[in-house]
Chains A and B, each alone.
Chain A
């Protein structure tokens, strides 16, 4: 039986403060109009009523990070020659992310298949991933943009988490999901939670039942390939899109990046930054040729990647965690669910004769 504890809401900050003694702790809080994951600050209110505006993606995959530092120096034997020293800049320390939702944390498992594959392991990602624990908050309510149930998940899915926290009464029921999770549940602030397991199950069940009806996406990979050459279809579904890229930045599973160099005096850095496939520059080649010249091509790739190409490469797993942020935050009202369902219903025009 996995370890189950109970934490009173009034003790949450004290508990996080304890955890913050040995780790960087990230928790959701308001910044302006948005709820984001920020380093825990006991002076600031933690917001856990709904899912945060932005997922905790940056805790493992920073929006911008230095990969390599270059240092220039003159060759003492030939002063006209510049020598260059390259140093990797690996992340250090351990972190705990409190308050991510099951969809958010499951998103990292989609990164894992790409960033920690047998053939190529991204050491920057892996170092942070290995050193970050997740105390995930099960959802006790859902929004009409939520569709985790369409992508084989649920509002209390523990996949990728170390501890699952379920809101019950005036507190949190804390269930250890991993060994690392058990080691996070040793505080004296926590009481035994066994007696509240039933209550927790009820909360999870009610949240799951509040979601919209599950849609069968099993033939989405094939149908998206069939609709690939129908540019009219893609022009139609992308007509509203502004190419702003909010969907990619707020997506827990969007993992594309750019690499650029920045020079300052006798030093330079190679920097990795989040990139955005909705931008025309994403695939623009130096010759001027662009394989995805319009927003229709680009939205096709984004939807195709999540619901067709990624599943094709990764045992059928859809690279969308159903958090609905791309729908909720799209300034033009593009709804990825509608696009996928429309593609599933797509029938190619049959030319007579």
Chain B
């Protein structure tokens, strides 16, 4: 029986703050306990709880890959009390970290396959982890396609690395925004529509998608049109969470707890669960 205190956060220091967009900030943090940092291990898709002390905790995906362990990266969209407090923090400030939590992307089953990433808005964060992990293990995978969309260029996170992704010849990157914008040289159109235009082959492929619920809904329909079967689709969900370890009882979909049994589900697994997203 594991008797570690599940609720006691590790103290961590913010090493770097990156202003991504008007409402998204990325934190690069290291655990204060050097031994704990050295031994920290996780899988792509695992999440963590960040503490803004005195305010509370919220769940974020670790969006740096386990192949790059100089720091743990979290991207935080400002939307409530905890995220507003986190946005006020700067390099050198302390945060609490409870991680890793949850399951992870089934990347072992993706080896040798073509990969299609479809990310919308902050939904790009979990995809970034797996994308970088795959780029760091490039030979294990076939063709990798990325479609990343946001409302406007001003809502697009990870701007500083998008050019590199576009330039790479081992990654087929497509960017899209919802409406015309001055100076924008990439696609314009909703993600599901652009996905149908790109039309990646479903053969020997896996699609991984994350984004707002409405985008997911239509992206799943588009993937179906392209011939992707439920078991070829992987998504990662979000729910209000507190404990992060399957006890506090609020993130369940039927008998599946998103915090521990998820957040990563295949399309086939989702169809088995009651319809309560």
**Residues on A close to B: CB < 8 A?**
67-68, 70, 72, 78, 80-84, 86, 88, 114-124, 126, 225, 228-229, 255-263, 268, 270, 272, 275, 277, 282-287, 289, 291-292, 297, 301, 304-305, 308-310, 312-313
Contacts and interface: CB of A to CB of B under 8 A. Distances in A.
B240 A284 contact: yes
A179 B232 CA distance: 54
Q: Secondary structure at chain B's binding surface: helix, strand, loop or mixed?
A: loop
B79 A287 contact: yes
A208 to B, nearest CB: 32
Given A118-B2, A121-B1, A228-B254, 14 more contacts: A81-B92, A86-B96, A116-B1, A119-B260, A121-B3, A260-B56, A263-B55, A277-B250, A283-B239, A285-B239, A286-B79, A291-B276, A291-B277, A301-B252
Nearest to A126: B3
Contacts of A270: 7, 51
Interface of B: 1-9, 11, 51, 53-58, 79-80, 83, 92-94, 96, 213, 238-240, 242-243, 245-255, 260, 274-277
Nearest to B242: A259
A115 B247 contact: yes
Contacts of B55: 261, 263
Give the residue among B57, B92, B248 with the most A Cβ atoms within 10 A: B248
A84 B53 CA distance: 8
Contact of A283 (B2, B7, B213, B240): B240
A283 B9 contact: no
A225 B239 contact: no
A312 B106 CA distance: 24
B191 to A, nearest CB: 18
6 contacts: A84-B96, A122-B247, A229-B275, A256-B249, A261-B55, A261-B56
A84 B250 contact: no
Contact of B53 (A261, A282, A301): A261
A82 B242 contact: no
Contacts of B93: 81-82
A88 B3 contact: no
Contacts of A310: 255
A122 B243 CA distance: 10
Given A84-B53, A86-B96, A259-B242, A286 B8 contact: no
Given A120-B245, A268-B53, A68 B8 contact: yes
Contact of B5 (A88, A256, A260, A308): A88
A291 B252 CA distance: 10
A124 B104 CA distance: 28
A78 B92 contact: yes
Contact of A313 (B2, B51, B245, B255): B255
A228 B274 contact: yes
B250 A118 contact: no
A121 B7 CA distance: 11
Contacts of A283: 239-240, 250-251
